[in-house]
Amino acid sequence: METEDRKTHFIESIISEDIQNNKNNGAVVTRFPPEPNGYLHIGHAKSICLNFNMANRFNGRCNLRFDDSNPAKEKQVYIDSIQSAVHWLGFEFGTPFYASDYFDRLHDFAVELIKKGKAYVCSLSADQIREYRGTLTEPGKDSPYRNRSIEENLDLFDRMKKGEFEEGEHTLRAKIDMQSPNINMRDPIIYRVKKAPHPRTGDKWCIYPMYDFTHCLSDALEGITHSLCSLEFEDHRPLYDWILDQLDTPCHPQQIEFARMNINYTVLSKRKLQRLVEENHVDGWDDPRLPTLEGMRRRGYTPEAIRRFCDIIGVSKKDSRIDMGLLESCLRDDLNERAPRVMGVLKPLKITIENYPDDLTEELTAKNHPQNDDMGTRTLTFSKNIYVEQDDFMEDPPKKFFRLGPGREVRLRYAYLITCTDVVKDETGRVIELICTYDPQTKGGNAPDGRKVKGTIHWVNANDCIDANVRLYDRLFKDENPEKDKQDFIENLNPESLEELENCKLEKSLENILPEKAVQFERLGYFCLDSKASSKTGSEQNPVFNRTVTLRDTWAKMKGRH
RNA sequence: UGGGGCGUCGUCAAGCGGUAAGACACAGGGUUUUGAUCCCUGCAUUCAGAGGUUCGAAUCCUCUCGCCCCAGCCA
């Protein structure tokens, strides 16, 4: 199980050590703190798994906390989506927490800071603040408002709160050190006026706390012991600690940073994903080509595969670009075990078995899983007219091609050995039908005379199969690094990332399959019924299946070599 | 050229002074009614580089090089 072979990493080591030293009385409390301003993606899954796994591993708990301190960007739909995604991934979080629930206390902490002379109301404009901040190589200089009296600061802050000022007129700043080589310590803004209604607090507030002020205090209020975040916050840690050191808080959590995930052939940033959606390069946030959790779910990814992937990639502080192949490998591993096998033909080629009785229909038994008998069997029907895959026939096949060709014999999976006797073409010379003979002695697929047939192909009975549309996906970008040579990643989109096939034929047993339920179309890959297309369309429309991932294909690899 | 971080196989990643795990990928081979699965085998004399300490260094010290992050009233 994943809990057993999950590898230990530096964060787990730190926590273990803390427990041994009885730090926090041995408690472990983590949190996953998304801002509800977009949808979750596989990168978030890494953080979710890390936080929940650490909590579970050490008998602690992990809070889902919405970091909702910027009402200009946050929406209830995201809150809902995030909760359902975390749930789908397989984690229990009880009632979610919200930074906005702490707005009163955060305000009081700010007042406390002012009273201690550690914060002041600054009346510089945004541009001025930027100027005064200095640059990476030059120190900043003190704001002229830095030494306002505590009384004046208290009064001004109170009036900010009451809405007496417009956005940008005043800010509340921590009084730290404008000379600091760490820009985050140059009197960072901790409260700003923002006259926007909040999804949860409505119009109660017109001042909102900034991330640096909100996060550490929210952590402290929730009794978080280990606050895990990504590397770009490493520079903020001194500020995180500074704020908690000034105030009387329930505890002082330890911030630990780790590297965020990158995967080749895709992008993992809300900003870029948003652009793909808004410019209609993809069809919404749940487009199956996207690495969003909703997109992956619709594509057919299982939570188990994603969790496994997150365990396998580990946690470190090194910048990385993980091979998409690893994700797919985890997916196949999981799907191979859980997906029942069925047959479907994507690009049908009609076959007439000339020596098969005209109106006979036979029933054949097929295993639902070659290695797992517990998954049972199903009945397939067979008749004179069937469909096979166009790719499984070559008029002039090379020596290593084990499938159909003129005069060649192949096995129809679970059915009969057939031999191609004639090829029917249309006026343009395209092959439109194969005439074959079958060997009645080979029912089930074995020849009594023991003759070996190298190729086994899938097929579907033309008389009772289901018509379907199938969407095949390829990587979203052409280059493994979509921003290679500093080009706009949009330029790198793979124009062939989606292929929709409209005349597919599937075996009858797929008639009532549920959306998202994984099946393997033998020899073609893993598929699932699309949850969106199938629910919104009328009964007229064919069902739509998504290919989740192909099977490993060494034949394609061999072909590619020559 | 300020501050913070990182550099171990093509890609992730163990390793914490005692002589380079594992996974994916790749390459061979076996089994197979999915060219799938499964099973074998191979795949870093070397840890960004150079010095040094040590009986012994990927691990300690010094210097050099490379990459990433930070100048939102975003998180």
A2 noted as active-site residue: no
The answer to whether residues A320 and A262 touch, using CB atoms and an 8 Å cutoff, is yes
pLDDT score, position A535: 56
C-beta within 7 A of nucleic chain B, residues 211-240 of A: 211-212, 214-215, 231-236
* Parent domain of A16: 10-258
Question: A187: Cβ under 7 Å from strand B?
Answer: no
pTM of the model: 0.96
> Which nt is closest to the CA of A233, judged by C1'?
B69
Angle formed by the axes of helices A103-115 and A211-221, to 10°? 110
pLDDT score, position A558: 87
CATH of the domain at A87: 3.40.50.620
Is A359 contained in some domain?
no
Share of chain A above pLDDT 90, in %: 94
Is A553 contained in some domain?
no
Q: Which residue has the tokens 């289901």?
A: A466
Question: A456: Cβ under 7 Å from strand B?
Answer: yes
> Which nt is closest to the CA of A126, judged by C1'?
B73
- Of the residues A146, A270, A350, A443, only one is catalytic, namely A270
> Which nt is closest to the CA of A232, judged by C1'?
B69
A7 noted as active-site residue: no
Is A329 contained in some domain?
no
A1-48 per-position pLDDT tens digit: 334 456 799 999 999 999 999 999 999 999 999 999 999 999 999 999
A547 noted as active-site residue: no
- pLDDT band at A86; cut points 50, 70, 90: very high
Is A1 contained in some domain?
no
- Our count of domains for chain A comes to 1
Is A435 contained in some domain?
no
Half-sphere exposure of A58 (CA within 13 A, CB side): 29
Question: A526: Cβ under 7 Å from strand B?
Answer: no
Q: Which nucleotides of B are covered by protein (CB under 7 A)?
A: 1-8, 10-16, 21-27, 33-38, 67-75
H helix and E strand count, chain A: 15, 25
Quick check: A359 pLDDT over 80? yes
Protein CA at A13 to nucleotide C1' at B16, angstroms: 12
Question: A308: Cβ under 7 Å from strand B?
Answer: no
| Segment holding A450, helix H or strand E | none
> Which nt is closest to the CA of A229, judged by C1'?
B75
User: Which residue pairs from A77-86 have beta carbons closer than 8 angstroms and sit at least 24 positions apart in sequence?
Assistant: A78/A36, A78/A37, A78/A38, A78/A39, A79/A36, A79/A199, A81/A39, A81/A40, A81/A294, A82/A34, A82/A36, A82/A39, A82/A40, A85/A39, A85/A40, A85/A44, A85/A293, A85/A294, A85/A297, A86/A32, A86/A40, A86/A48
> What is the maximal distance between C-alpha atoms in chain A?
102
Question: A250: Cβ under 7 Å from strand B?
Answer: no
pLDDT score, position A562: 62
Average pLDDT over residues A79-96: 98
pLDDT score, position A7: 75
For chain A, how many residues are written?
562
| Segment holding A153, helix H or strand E | helix A150-161
Is A156 contained in some domain?
yes
Is A234 contained in some domain?
yes
Share of chain A above pLDDT 70, in %: 98
Is A54 contained in some domain?
yes
pLDDT score, position A3: 40
The answer to whether residues A67 and A331 touch, using CB atoms and an 8 Å cutoff, is no
**What is d(CA A420, CA A406) in angstroms, rounded to the nearest whole number?**
5
The single-letter DSSP state of residue A178 is: T
pLDDT score, position A5: 53
**What is d(CA A253, CA A269) in angstroms, rounded to the nearest whole number?**
27
Question: A315: Cβ under 7 Å from strand B?
Answer: yes
Work out the mean pLDDT of chain A and round it to a whole number: 96
Question: A555: Cβ under 7 Å from strand B?
Answer: yes
Question: A137: Cβ under 7 Å from strand B?
Answer: yes
Q: Cβ neighbours of residue A559 under 8 Å, at least 6 residues apart?
A: none
- pLDDT band at A72; cut points 50, 70, 90: very high
Assigned token pair, A214: 């909100």
